[in-house]
């Protein structure tokens, strides 16, 4: 054993070229490390789905049943009691698309928010870029949503829409929405890891967001009927959930009310890129602190 100079461990570390552990990694190195773990992200997401299916036979079915039952309740309240089904053409397809598309974002964000706080054991046992966890959750939700989108397509056809080539537009819509949702999921993964109360408050924020996003009504009509300023319509229609829902309806449905202007696509791209980059940087900045008790 060499003699230990206890007065200056830091100087000794410098002399032998040792570096402090657990320091904030550089962004570029972090992204590279994350890319090297891409197989882990994919396997982790797939394993969690397989585990869920193994644990309950209805597991996968609930992914579809849940939005369907929600849609049933909304149909009763908004369609029948508040009379939206008379104002909107093909109201069932309109409502189902809104509910399923919104559910994709809200489920992804909820899953992402629990990705660090729900995997503390893993964070404290193995070394890997922590962004693996929210990304695995996002991929998991994407795979599950794939199943429910097939159900949505069948239901939309059953309620009277004919499939056209325009349906292919749903793919870029889902990809852009995935990027947006991943960005927000990263933000809430960090917030929930740092302040646990956020997990309690998030479902309410998502519910309010849903009611503001025209899932069960047409935003422009609603604002007009309540003597709202047109600027309110623009603001509500420009919110990311409304943008992706409108584009999905535009892809799946063929009514005058669901046609969307082209600038909706520019908004959809901006809402995909800015939150993803911002959310990733926000998450990365706390990398060295995840796992603290």
Cβ at position 117, least distance to other proteins in Å: 12
For residue 106, the tally of other CB atoms under 10 A from its CB is 21
Least distance to other proteins, CB of residue 166, Å: 39
Q: Nearer to other proteins by C-beta: 285 or 289?
A: 289
d(CA 144, CA 89): 29
CB of 31 to other proteins, least distance (A): 16
Distance CA 43, CA 54 (A): 16
Q: What is the DSSP letter of 286?
A: T
Looking at the Cβ atoms of 33 and 157, the one nearer to other proteins is 33
State which residue, 133 or 216, has the beta carbon closest to other proteins: 133
Nearer to other proteins, 269 or 286 (CB): 286
**The pair of three-digit structure tokens given for residue 181, joined into one six-digit string:** 């949702």
In the bound state with other proteins, the residue whose beta carbon lies nearer, of 125 and 162, is 125
Q: CA–CA separation, 98 vs 100, rounded Å?
A: 6
Minimum CB distance to other proteins smaller for 127 or for 226: 127
Residues that bind other proteins (CB under 8 A): 1-2, 4, 6, 9-10, 12-13, 16-22, 37, 39-40, 43-44, 47-48, 50-51, 54-55, 119, 121-128, 195-198, 200-201, 288-293
Token pair for residue 40?
A: 């882990």
Q: How far is the CB of 125 from other proteins (least distance, A)?
A: 4
Token pair for 25: 């990694």
Distance of closest approach, residue 228 Cβ to other proteins, in angstroms:
29
- Rounded Cα gap, residues 66 and 62, in angstroms: 5
Closer CB to other proteins, residue 44 or residue 244? 44
Burial label for 33, CB within 10 Å (0-12, 13-18, 19+), is middle
d(CA 42, CA 29): 20
- Going by C-alpha positions, the residue among 238, 237, 104 that lies closest to residue 175 is 104
Query: At its nearest, how many Å lie between other proteins and the CB of residue 120?
Result: 9
d(CA 116, CA 186): 10
Query: Smallest distance from the beta carbon of 285 to other proteins, in angstroms?
Result: 14
**CB of residue 109 vs other proteins: minimum separation in angstroms?**
18
Residue 6, class by beta-carbon neighbours within 10 Å (0-12 exposed, 13-18 middle, 19+ buried)?
Answer: exposed
Angle at alpha carbon of residue 144, lines to 139 and 141, rounded to 5°: 35
Identify whether the C-beta of residue 91 lies closer than 8 Å to the C-beta of residue 85: yes
CB nearer to other proteins: pick between 17 and 262: 17
């Amino acid at each position: 054993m060499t003699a230990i100079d206890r007065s200056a461990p830091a100087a000794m570390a410098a002399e032998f070229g040792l570096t402090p552990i657990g320091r904030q990694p550089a962004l570029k190195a972090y992204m590279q490390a994350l890319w090297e773990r891409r197989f882990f992200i994919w396997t982790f997401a797939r394993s969690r789905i397989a585990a869920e299916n193994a644990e309950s036979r209805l597991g996968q079915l609930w992914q579809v049943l849940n939005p369907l039952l929600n849609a049933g309740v909304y149909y009763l309240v908004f369609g029948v009691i508040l009379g939206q089904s008379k104002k909107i053409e093909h109201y069932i397809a309109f409502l189902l698309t809104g509910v399923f598309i919104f559910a994709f974002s809200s489920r992804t964000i909820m899953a992402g928010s629990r990705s660090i706080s729900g995997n503390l054991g893993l964070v404290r046992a193995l070394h890997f870029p922590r962004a693996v966890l929210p990304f695995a959750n996002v991929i998991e939700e994407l795979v599950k949503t794939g199943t429910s989108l097939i159900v949505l397509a069948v239901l939309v056809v059953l309620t009277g829409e004919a499939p056209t080539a325009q349906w292919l537009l749903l793919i870029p819509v889902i990809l852009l929405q995935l990027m947006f949702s991943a960005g927000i999921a990263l933000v809430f993964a960090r917030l929930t890891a740092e302040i646990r109360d956020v997990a309690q408050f998030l479902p309410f924020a998502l519910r309010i967001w849903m009611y503001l996003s025209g899932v069960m009504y047409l935003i422009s009509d609603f604002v007009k009927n309540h003597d709202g300023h047109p600027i309110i319509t623009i603001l509500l229609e420009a919110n990311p959930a409304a943008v992706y829902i409108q584009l999905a309806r535009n892809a799946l449905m063929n009514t005058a009310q669901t046609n969307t202007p082209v600038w909706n696509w520019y908004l959809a791209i901006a809402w995909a890129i800015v939150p993803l980059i911002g959310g990733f940087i926000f998450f990365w900045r706390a990398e060295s602190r995840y796992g603290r008790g």
